[in-house]
Chain A
Amino acid sequence: MNVALMKTKAEQALTEAFEASAAKLPGSAAVKARRAEAIGAFGSLGLPHRRIEEWKYTDLRGALKEALPPAVQDETALTIAELIVALGPLAHVDAHRIAFVNGRHRSELDDLSDASGFDIATLGKTLASAPTNVADALTKSDANGAIAALNAAFMTDGAIVRVADKAVLTKPLLIVFVRAGSARHAVTVRNFVSIGAGATATIIEAHVVLPGSTPDAQSNALTEVSVGKAATLHHAKVAVDDGKCVHLADWDVVLQADATYRGFQFSSGLGLARNETNVRYAGEGGKLDLSGAYMARAHEHIDTTLVVDHAVPGCESRELFKGVLDGHGRGVFQGKIIVQPNAQKTDGKQMSQALMLSADAEFDSKPELEIFADDVVCGHGTTSAELDPDLLFYCRSRGIPESQARALMIESFIGEAIDKIENPELHTALMAYAINWLAHTARG
């Protein structure tokens, strides 16, 4: 029996939506040809489902009942004040900024006044004039599969950032994607980040919502990252929405020799999220820290799937993911570390932990180590636990009421992951998001 034979309503709608909007999607003739190929590839792949090993715990085909119409040439404009409201705690992070609303660049919301050491372009404009070789580069990605194909077919805009060799960016760059308005739609964006040799930068990718907008939304965000020789990139993605948004995100990262990449993913208020990350070491001496914090309540579902490919010797990888699950919230963690036969002296450590606040919460964790070299240090661990009653008693014996003690302990649990963030303002902002979330969760 061929299970992919019958197209679901959502799959059908995606193909039809492409036909209806193809003419309006930005792109030269070469780009349009690549988009058509991509939707063709999607047509034969269909939405990923639970019989595909990598999607075993996140049955997107079953969950996605409806494909929302793509946001194309969206006209929604925001004021700076509205942008600040949408940014919430992130508004306090002193950063250069490029802003997109419903998948379209809004230069009036940018703040790139004193930018130096990097170039920035928008994907929309670049696509419009892309010759064949550029079209190829912009549409293909390391990630293949249905979600990347949909991204190539529908992407409207995004940031193309190039940090110059040896440049040291003192302020982070905030790439913010706001969704706003009452129209229910799907937003598809793609970013390219390239850090020159010896450079240092912090890039924050934010996916936020203007309060009062429809809660129904879908987003597909792909970011390609290349960290040059001996360069350092701090890269954070903050996705915070209203509880229903379907957020499909993909990071594809390549590290050159002696490069350092510190990636962090913060997710809350997402109906269904898939945060997929692929990291490949292209040179020796690469250092990776990939961590994250997520929170799910009601029937929210957060999937973290990562593949770290130690293709060369002498690289280090660290992962720490922490999730807080309440109600029927579900966390999924799949962490695959591959150590290729020649990748001696690999040092890899992975930890994934979930805090279960409810008997109905669910955590599925699948660490995978595929080690083909013999001189390596690799370890992984995973835990799921309730709040420690002894610790709760300790706090209460010091006079802290139960609801406050619970909040303090949840904060401490998630804080350990957020501590990976080195930028103090971003650290404060993420703790604020976590505390806001807790304020709606902690019971007395």
Chain B
Amino acid sequence: MLEIKNLHVKLEDEDRVILKGLSLTVPKGEVHAIMGPNGSGKSTLAYVLAGRAGYEVTDGDILWNGESILEMAPDERAAKGVFLAFQYPMEIPGVAGLTFLRTAMNAVRKKRGEPELTTPAFMKIAKEKGEKLNIDINMLKRPVNVGFSGGEKKRSEILQMALLEPTLCVLDETDSGLDIDALRIVAEGVNALRDKDRAFLVITHYQRLLNYIVPDKVHVLADGRIQKTGGKELALELEKSGYADFTGKAA
């Protein structure tokens, strides 16, 4: 279970407070969506969960399965099952996708006390899981994300997620830059990973993604706090009324 308690976050280098007492609980097996206007703190929340530098937590805590992760390095969090699908996946020229995936998988397995995968075993898994996401093995022989279209990059993120088998999946604006076909493939990939032992936090600006990844709960984030929580129908309401009601409170 993910428990975010009264989380206050400011930028390390500026006096700008982004999250102002955010509280949220996502039980295992559930998919929660976070929707909110630009600048509400959605991406900050994603980055703070994954442990990116540059943010200072001034108050509150984040517990994953009862354990605070705030002091953990990003790779330790990954080993504990935390995974962030990036809004803008990075390109790594010169590192073949397969090398990257195998390095990551074995690093995580090692920390989880599982045996490292042999090359043939890894190749088999990568091939199988890649095919489900329409990712050809030849694509993975190329440098990570280099020259990939927006859709290919997002599918590649979901493949990483499928291979690393995280238990907390945070998806940051996974729908941005996707056409409808790419969106469907990505959503199918995510849905295939839905599991009673896995929690999802799906961050999005638009309701569209939630037609494909149907959430158990929807939270509205504005001005650094959860302003409203409801069922999946809340997303549809927001699509009609917009975020004006919530941003108004920001003043």
> Which residues of A are at the interface with B, using a C-beta cutoff of 8 A?
389-391, 393-402, 404-405, 408-409, 411-416, 419
When each residue 29-45 of chain B gets 1 if its CB lies under 8 Å from chain A and 0 otherwise, what string results?
A: 00000000000000000
List the A residue with the shortest CB-CB distance to B52.
Answer: A393
Q: Say yes or no: A390-B90 contact (C-beta < 8 A), given A399-B78, A399-B164.
A: yes
Residues of B participating in the A interface, judged by any CB pair closer than 8 Å: 50-53, 73-75, 77-79, 83-84, 86, 89-90, 92-95, 99-100, 103-105, 107-108, 111, 143, 160, 164
Contacts A399-B108, A401-B107; A391 near B90 (Cβ below 8 A)? yes
Question: Would you give the shortest CB distance from A353 to chain B, in whole angstroms?
Answer: 11
Interface of A is mostly: helix
The distance in angstroms between the C-alpha atoms of A442 and B221, with both chains bound, is 41
Q: Is A399 a contact partner of B94 (Cβ separation < 8 A)? A: no
Contact count A vs B, C-beta below 8 Å: 78
Complex contact B107–A400 (CB within 8 A): yes
Which residues of the other chain, A, contact B99 by a CB distance below 8 angstroms?
A: 408
How far is A47 from B89 in the complex, measured between Cα atoms in Å?
52
A396 adjacent to B73 (CB under 8 Å): yes
Measured CA separation A169–B90 after assembly (Å): 41
Flag if B75 contacts A408 (CB, 8 Å).
no
Q: A393-B53, A394-B86, A412-B143 known; A399 and B104 CB under 8 Å?
A: yes
Assess whether A408 is in contact with B78, with CB atoms less than 8 Å apart. Answer: no
Q: Is the CB of B51 within 8 A of A397?
A: yes
Q: How far is the CA of A397 from the CA of B168 in the complex (A)?
A: 13
- Return chain B residues, CB-CB under 8 Å to A416: 93-94
Instruction: Give 5 new A-B contacts, CB below 8 A, not counting A391-B92, A405-B75, A412-B95.
Output: A393-B53, A398-B100, A408-B100, A412-B92, A415-B95
- Is the CB–CB distance between B94 and A413 below 8 Å? yes
CB distance from A399 to the nearest CB of B (A): 4
- Contact status A415-B73, CB under 8 Å: no
A404 to chain B, nearest CB (A): 7
Nearest CB in chain B to that of A405: its residue? B75
Partner of A398, one of B51, B73, B94, B104: B104
Q: How far is the CB of B74 from chain A (nearest CB, A)?
A: 4
Q: Kindly provide the distance from the CB of A295 to the nearest chain B CB, expressed in whole angstroms.
A: 15
B95 pairs with A399, CB closer than 8 A: no
A411 CA to B79 CA, complexed, in Å? 24
Please tell me if the beta carbons of B73 and A402 are within 8 angstroms of each other in the complex. yes
**In the assembled complex, which residues on chain A have CB atoms less than 8 Å from the CB atom of B51?**
396-397
Residues of the B chain whose Cβ atoms lie less than 8 Å from the Cβ of A397: 50-52, 74-75, 77-78, 83-84
CA distance A402 to B78 in the complex (A): 13
Residues of B within 8 A of A413 (CB): 94
Across the two chains, which residue of chain A brings its CB closest to B88? A390
B159 CB to nearest chain A CB (Å): 11
* A412-B92, A416-B93 given; A399·B86 CB < 8 A: no
Question: Which residues from chain B contact A401 at a C-beta distance below 8 Å?
Answer: 75, 107
Assembled-state Cα–Cα distance A409/B143 (Å): 12
Interfacial chain B residues near A393, Cβ < 8 Å: 50, 52-53, 74
Chain A contacts of B93 at CB under 8 A? 412, 416
